[in-house]
Structure 1
Amino acid sequence: MLLRLDDRDTAPLHEKIAAGLRRALAAGDLGVGERLPSARELGSSLGVNMHTVLRAYAQLADEGLVSMRRGRGVTVLAAGPDRAELHHRIRALVDEARRLGIEHEELVVMIEEAR
């Protein structure tokens, strides 16, 4: 699996890794049931600490996109591309709001008003 990190992106490394994996899910590059590389392998290929990769994997697990099981690795779940694309768009919205200086609470109010 080829994953590239954008050096221009100011997000923390674990968020960039998680975003890259979300994009791979949305594009269909990662399929349901597919095992992701070990944190050590992916960290080595990206030149980052394996704990950074584990943090990205944990974030994806919290979102229901992957399953992390000790001794079995990280596996892509059935929550596929649609959910991954939504998470990607939400991240982009939050990043854009941050860039514009919009505080979290104000963004939440804006989202509530849009409903």
Structure 2
Amino acid sequence: MLITIDPTANVPLADQIAASVRGAAVRGELSPGDRLPPAREVAAALGVNLHTVLRGYQRLRDEGLVDLRRGRAAVLTDAADGPRLAVAEHVRALVEAARRAGLGEQELHTAIEDAFNRP
């Protein structure tokens, strides 16, 4: 499924839903104009309250990443490309900084994994 959550995480479920959609957009799994699954279907599939899914979708709307209208599908806006492009730009800058510092590819991977696993 496109949207996943971890019920044991210390992150609110609505935030996890929004992050899951953002992540799918960054990975290129979603593109501007794509429709998100109906909130009722997501709620049923994840076993969460409908309002939790709607809060996640509303966060995305507040960020300008989703066009959300009552009774219509949630649709990714052109702004959804922004996070993907921003991450790609940061990655290029990080790789360049690592090269200047004399780090190899494996050392950079290790540094990223360490940073990712820190609380």
TM-score calculated relative to the size of structure 1: 0.68
- Any conservation in 2 of the 1:4–1:46 contact (CA below 8 Å)? yes
SS of the residue 1:80 aligns to: helix
For the pair shown, the structure with the greater C-alpha radius of gyration is 2
- Any conservation in 2 of the 1:22–1:85 contact (CA below 8 Å)? no
Query: Which residue in 1 is equivalent to 2:43?
Result: 43
Query: Which residue in 2 is equivalent to 1:53?
Result: 53
Equivalences for residues 69-88 of structure 1 within 5 A:
69-83=69-83
**For 1:1-55, what per-residue CA distance to the aligned partner results, in whole angstroms no more than 9, with x for missing partners?**
4322134421111011111111011111111111111110011111101100000
Query: Structure 2 CA distance, aligned partners of 1:84 and 1:47?
Result: 29
> Alpha carbon RMSD of aligned pairs, Å?
2.4
- Any conservation in 2 of the 1:3–1:20 contact (CA below 8 Å)? yes
Query: Which residue in 2 is equivalent to 1:64?
Result: 64
Length, aligned pairs only: 90
Query: Structure 2 CA distance, aligned partners of 1:74 and 1:52?
Result: 15
Shift of 1:73: 1.6
- Any conservation in 2 of the 1:23–1:85 contact (CA below 8 Å)? no
Query: Which residue in 2 is equivalent to 1:13?
Result: 13
TM-score calculated relative to the size of structure 2: 0.66
Long gaps (5+) in structure 1: 88-95, 100-115
SS of the residue 1:79 aligns to: helix
Query: Structure 1 CA distance, aligned partners of 2:7 and 2:85?
Result: 22
Q: 1:2 aligned to 2:13?
A: no
Long gaps (5+) in structure 2: 88-115
- Structure 1 runs, 4 residues or longer, greater than 4 Å off: 84-87
